[in-house]
Amino acid sequence: MDSDLPLAGIVVVELGDSASAPFGGQVLAALGAEVWKIERPGSGDSSRGWGPSKWKGEGAPYHALNRGKRSICLDIKDPAQLSTLHALIEQHADVFLHNLRPGSAGQYALDPDSLRARKPELVCCEVGAFGHLGPYNTRPGYDPLMQAFAGIMSVTGEEGQAPVRAGVSIVDFGTGLWSVVGILAALFRRARTKAGATVNGSLLETAIAWMTINLCNYAADGDLGGRWGSGVPIIVPHRAFPASDGHIIVSAANDRLFARLADALGHPEWGTDPRFATNAGRLANRADIDRLIGEVLSQNTRAHWQAVLESRGLPTAPVQTAAELFHHEQARALGIFGKPSEDEVETVQLPLSFDGKRPPPLHSAPGIGQDNAALQRLIPGAAVSER
């Protein structure tokens, strides 16, 4: 690992599967930690089998979530191999990160109380589903379940249509990030106190956190929100409109910007029309002003309108596909895509820079158990599984 990175010298043992804990482990690796990933014999991490895209015979999502790690293959149901895992944690780890099925860690003495009794300075981070407290604390869960349970789906999509899940795994990735925040805070405190910590996070708590404004609105006056498609309930216009070759986001967050938008679209009279001159009026007449704006924008391309609106200082952005973003000059200028060598797939790098420099691309995601031998050199006699 790069010795200049913030977490250089920190060792993480990750018993993670699917997305949340593995994403957290990858962020720690990108920050410089040495991450030992524990995988089950045979199939390994579930994301190795995800589709439809493949890279080197495995699901591309596995490569997106597990770069920069080592992989060792252990069957924790086997006492000898479980003993190997305990030895790795007790002798070498600063952090143990897992998302085992809720309630199962204790069966293997991998719960925080058991681990920290033997190693008080350990930071143990448990990533759960419904959380570590309450009547649902042992239930399993996945990203779409939490988007449903926490109400995210109730405010996503178009009014009157079926509930819609966000198109990216905001709960899984968010939970991975919250686990990293908790781990970093615990390591910071440990530097002062020499004591470890138990960090608990969960998919449900992350989903609830994303509903912060909606829940505050409900607590204040009973407002349930609603579905506004690409728009929002508090500002008009602030949504996607169809151009001739796709959609473009148009935002006029105050009356001054709206008057400027009306002029840019060739209808300065909208800026003084009593129905539209104020945001309150536009909210009351949302359907009318959205229709009028849409009729104008549909007559030309996204690029045309982006040039026109940006020249007037108006916030706008095209609704892009993954391909358009991947090749866009702005994304490329940021250097956020990278690969460790020419024979690897290009993936998203850490969305942070330090002193103007982004951490270098992580090495490729490991094969199942490719570091078994390295573990046996580190812990002589360690029992491992065949890949």
**Residue 354: DSSP 8-state:** B
Taking the CA atoms of 105, 106, 110 and 113 in sequence, report the sign of the dihedral they define: positive
In contact, 90 and 96? CB cutoff 8 Å: no
Q: Spell out the residues 6+ positions from residue 273 whose beta carbon is closer than 8 angstroms to its own.
A: none
Instruction: Say which of 172, 245, 255, 290 is annotated catalytic.
Output: 172
| C-beta separation of 123 from 96 below 8 A | yes
**Which residues does 15 contact at the CB level (< 8 Å), separation at least 6?**
21, 38, 76, 85, 96, 97, 98, 99, 100, 110
Active site residue 355: no
E strand intervals along 168-225: 197-202
**The one-letter amino acid at 174:** G
Q: Which residues contact 188 (CB under 8 A, 6 or more apart)?
A: none
Please measure the distance between the N-terminal and C-terminal CA atoms of the chain and give it in whole angstroms.
25
Query: Got the DSSP string for 236-300?
Result: SSEEEEEETTEEEEEE--SHHHHHHHHHHTT-GGGGT-TTTSSHHHHHHTHHHHHHHHHHHHTTS
Assigned token pair, 24: 């957290």
The residues that are catalytic are: 172
